[in-house]
Each structure stands twice: as C-alpha cells, then as structure tokens.
Structure 1
C-alpha cells in the first residue's frame, strides 16, 4: 500500500510540475506575441489548456506568473556574460566585442525586448525585471569604462550605457545597420571622446 501511495504522489507531483511548466511556457509565448500588457490570466489559461483557477493555484497573482516567466525566459536566453569579452584588450577592442555580443543577443531576442520596453510603463510586474537588466547593463558599462581609464560619471560612461541599451540597438537597426556596423559606430563615438 505504501508503494502505491508513493507512486501516486510522485505521479501527481509530476503532473503538477508539467502543468506549471505549460503555464510558464504559455505566458512566455503570449508575452512575445501580444506583449505583457495584453496577456491576461484567461489567455494564459487557454493557451496552457487549463482553467483560470488552475493558473491561480500555481501562481497567486500576475506578478508571480510574470516572475516565473521572466526567470524561465532568461534561463533560455541568458544575456551575454563578461567572460565572453574578458580576453579582449581593455578599451576599444573590449568595447567592440561587448557591444557586438549584446547586439547579436538583441537581434535574436528582439520580439520579447520590443514587447517588454513598450509595455513596461503600464505593467508593474515587468518593472522590477527591467530595472534589474538595466542594472546589469550599468555594471557592464562601468567595467568597460575602467578599460578606458574613465570614471563612472564621465561622458564616456553615458555613451557606453546608451550604446548597450536595447533601444539604441532598435533605433540603429531601424536605420538598416547590421550589428557590426552598430558596434563600429558606437566605438567611433567612444574614440571621439577619448581623443
């Protein structure tokens, strides 16, 4: 009898986990397709093939669903890490490698970033994760500034922060620049400040 009970408990736990994952996956898909602002609990439930009440059993509110979605999405699409450009010479070479890494990342993940930037002002649950990503970009920019021998409050730091932003990538992409041309342009801005 104990074996049967353990088997049943494991089976239920696996089913709960599978439902949880379907809800998170449905939320990610909807965020990319219609944006966080237009993603309702009803739409998530329908996409996941569950009832609204089931969504609330797994997540007490919209913030909890969005946090799980963000965590899973970032797990699947992690932003570039400093190890990727650490071997480059500090200064312009490292800045170019860093910018190129982020621009390639943005190109591959642009649907989600466009939706997130558009909807952030109206979706409180999105504001925390977006602020955390901006903090990460600030840290990356500060590390690059050190390679130029510049302090964090300089025009160089401001230019690096601007260059690392998704909105800068999106603006330059709309003008027809490819990722390498974008990185070269931002590095030219930096060279002008350093000269």
Structure 2
C-alpha cells in the first residue's frame, strides 16, 4: 500500500471515529434533557446513538467521561451569559438588572436541561463536578454585582437577594407562577429596592 493511501485511510478512519464520538455525545445530551441524567444509562446512550455499548466504552472509559464530554458539548451550544456584556454599565442597579435579565432569558431557553440537572445532581456523582463549576460561576457573577451595589459590604440582605435572584431555582419558581421574563426581573429589582431601604 502506498504512503498516500495509508494516510488517506488513517484520515478517513479518524473522521469516522470522531463522527461516532459526536453521535454518542449528542445522544447522551438529548437523553439527559429528555429523561434526566439519573435515568440515562450507557445502554440507552448506545441505542440512541445507533452503536454497541462496547463502542461507547471505546470512546469513553466510564460514565464520568461521557458526562464531561456531554456537558462540554452542551455548554458550547448553550453558553451561559457573559458578564462582560454588562460590565461596562456604570450604574450598579442597571448592571444588576441587565445581569438578571440575561440569566432569566438564558434559563427560559435552557429550562429542560437545568431542571433535569438540578433534580438529579445529588444522585449522579458524574454530574456533581460540572454543577459545582456552574455554582462557582454564579458565585463569581454575584460577587461582582454585590461589590458594585454595596462596596462597603455592609448589607447582607442585599447580598442574599443578589445571590437568590441569580439562581435557576428562583427563576423556575417564578416561572411556575406564570410571570413573564420582564415581570420576573422587575420583581427581583423590587426585592433589591426593599433591601436598600432597610
């Protein structure tokens, strides 16, 4: 076999393997959203991807590796709000409102996955590290907003309101009560105003 043919076959094989890997990751991603991480088995992923269980294990040594790849892929398709989008807003309250509006719009678009992830996180060890990273991100966003709203750090109620407002669970509770995205953000701003008056 010529060197050119060997190179072509190796390239073709690598492309096929990458396509198979992508099918597995997307199958896991859709199952996590539809039935939840807890109910997503390797067998179910293999069936959804149209491959054998052994093929899944050839690409991913364990469930944690599948979850890491799935999380990375899903976040690349659904990146969380970028704090840089509101960092230049001089007024701290307006900055907070922009952040809340961005997160609530994001939660609205990605509701199914976050609902499943938060529901199952305590029972799925492979999910705990990615969710801890999301929690750290939200904490960082909250810290920056709190520092702008309360530079002296003298208002713990304000800090608690900012952190509570940023949580998916807060959005989900307000969503269950039928509030629009604008109404949700407005209510959180009213909470903030209440803490500033105390």
Deviation at 1:152, TM superposition (A): 8.8
Structure 2 match to 1:88: 89
Matched residue SS, 1:177: coil
Structure 1 match to 2:164: 162
Structure 2 match to 1:107: 108
Q: Indicate how the Cα distance of structure 1 residues 152 and 71 shifts in structure 2: closer, same or farther if over 3 A, else same.
A: farther
TM-score (ref. length: structure 1): 0.97
**Structure 1 CA distance for aligned equivalents of residues 162 and 92 of structure 2:** 11
The CA RMSD over aligned residues, in Å, is 1.2
1:173 maps onto 2:175 in alignment = yes
1:79 maps onto 2:80 in alignment = yes
Is 1:156–1:193's contact at 8 Å kept on the other side of the alignment?
yes
Structure 2 match to 1:145: 146
**Structure 2 CA distance for aligned equivalents of residues 53 and 36 of structure 1:** 20
**Structure 2 CA distance for aligned equivalents of residues 158 and 30 of structure 1:** 34
Deviation at 1:80, TM superposition (A): 0.1
Q: What 5-or-longer segments of structure 1 have no aligned partner?
A: none
Alignment of 1:12-51 (within 5 A): 12-51=13-52
1:122 maps onto 2:151 in alignment = no
1:189 maps onto 2:174 in alignment = no
Q: Deviations over 1:34-61 (max 9, x none)?
A: 0000000000000111000000000000
1:8 maps onto 2:23 in alignment = no
Is 1:156–1:190's contact at 8 Å kept on the other side of the alignment?
yes
Task: Please identify runs of 4+ aligned residues in structure 1 that moved more than 6 A.
Answer: none
Deviation at 1:148, TM superposition (A): 1.1
**Structure 1 CA distance for aligned equivalents of residues 95 and 183 of structure 2:** 16
**Structure 2 CA distance for aligned equivalents of residues 123 and 164 of structure 1:** 24
TM-score (ref. length: structure 2): 0.95
